[in-house]
Amino acid sequence: MTGRLLRPDDHDFETAKRGFNALFDRRNPVAVARCATPGDVQACVTAAAGRVPMAPRSGGHSYAGYSTPDGGFVIDVGALSTVAVHGDQVAIGAGARLRDVYAALGKAGRCLPAGTCPTVGIAGLTLGGGIGVLTRKYGLTCDHLVSAEVVTADGTMRTASSSSETDLFWALRGGGGGNFGIVTELTFTTVPAPDVAVFALRFPAGGANEVLDGWQRWMAGAPPELWTALVLTGGSPVQCRVDGCHVGTEPELSALLDTFVTSAGVTPTARTTRSLDYPGAMHYFAGGDKRRSFVGASRIIASPVDAAKLTATMDGRIETDMLIDSLGGAVAGLGRRDTAFWHRDALATVQVYASVTTLPPDQATRSVNDVVAELAAAGATGAYVNYIDPALPDWMNAYYGDNAGRLREIARTYDPDNAFAFPQGVQA
């Protein structure tokens, strides 16, 4: 290796092993490889395959901590972080964080639809699909993938694209991180950077049922330029807010919001809108970049569900949020089997999130699991693999639907001995 290989007795090891979620800081991998080149990744895979569990890591945001396994070998590609814009395409190292991707694209006047958290790694985001605030207008991040450089279990560097390793290319667009191989670089198509109007609505206590019901009906027919997220914050009463953005002008956005407020029948206690350029909009939605302690899980709303049931399950749940992000628009422009991402015709993703800052971890876990179970009972049975959930029953079907069988076949081709196996990995 040209990069560093850190073992438990090295003074940097405690820092190097940590992912984003401090909940998993006590886990102890056998080593962390800080790969400096694609060749380092090949050397790690060749040495470790069949001998020790391998855990690829880009940004280290796995909700289940799968990128920090006890007794495993962390192959960290964070140093592979170059971002090179060439006309309407961009080549990005697998370890690049979204804040750096957006900064480089913004300077070039280009846009790649991706996530919001600034420290998320581009590889993990893309491999699970890639949902963000521009998804409805421009599609998933993986929909813009042109090619990927991938080290497979035999140590071979392969180029996956529409004309090379085509099955692998299909799997990498929504088949989840940590499966099939370790990506070292991705090339994407981009679009001209748009101007974006952003908004925030805050609603009075007691209005969550009506707001959620109206929001589901509104988003089912909303133009693709509009993306919104509805957040239910647990407590007594349940609090509700709606945030989002519109690829267009502020007056256009205001007209859409007027339609929503009238339909919901609840007047916001606060309403703000503003116009931003593309870099400004990405910064607006970024939030903080400090490490956190939390428990998270997800579900997928395929079509409108009973708003009262969703609100009721959040009643009295302190430190717990339900974040409902709209899908549709360009996401539905591809079929379920065109890529590995199955939930093409869904209305929204649902992320359930409980902070462990004040709640004990076991209480936070129970709260999240209870809410997720209620969501499933209400008809939200699918799940988003980038919000991976170790307690999810029938997880293979929930994440991948009818694409699960093809993903297993591809795993048999590229990882027949399950060298990249982990508890919710696609195995041969």
What pLDDT shows up at residue 290? 86
What pLDDT shows up at residue 13? 97
Rounded distance between C-alpha atoms, residue 126 and residue 257, angstroms: 31
Strand partners, 351: 298, 323
pLDDT tens, residue by residue, 362-411: 999 999 999 999 999 999 999 999 999 999 989 999 999 999 999 999 99
CATH 3.30.43.10: which residues of the chain?
4-76
What pLDDT shows up at residue 428? 86
Q: What is the mean pLDDT of the chain?
A: 96
Residue with tokens 């509009």: 226
What pLDDT shows up at residue 287? 79
Polymer length in residues for the chain: 428
Look at domain 4-76 and name its CATH class: alpha beta
Cα torsion angle, 294, 246, 102, 334, sign: positive
Rounded distance between C-alpha atoms, residue 329 and residue 344, angstroms: 10
Residue with tokens 């401090």: 22
What pLDDT shows up at residue 321? 97
CATH 3.30.465.10: which residues of the chain?
83-193+401-414
What pLDDT shows up at residue 357? 85
pTM (2 d.p.): 0.97
Q: What phi, psi does 39 have (nearest 5°)?
A: -60, -35
Q: Confirm if 392 and 371 have CB atoms less than 8 A apart.
A: no
Question: What letter would DSSP give residue 118?
Answer: T
Question: What letter would DSSP give residue 195?
Answer: P
Q: Is 332 helix (H, G, I), strand (E, B) or coil?
A: helix
Q: Confirm if 104 and 60 have CB atoms less than 8 A apart.
A: no
The fold for domain 83-193+401-414 equals 3.30.465
Lookup: tokens for 247: 């690829």
Look at domain 196-276+292-400 and name its CATH class: alpha beta
Report CA-CA distances (Å) from 69 to 1, 19, 316. 22, 11, 34
CATH 3.40.462.20: which residues of the chain?
196-276+292-400
pLDDT tens, residue by residue, 181-217: 999 999 999 999 999 999 999 999 889 999 999 999 9
- Which residues of the chain have a pLDDT value below 50? none
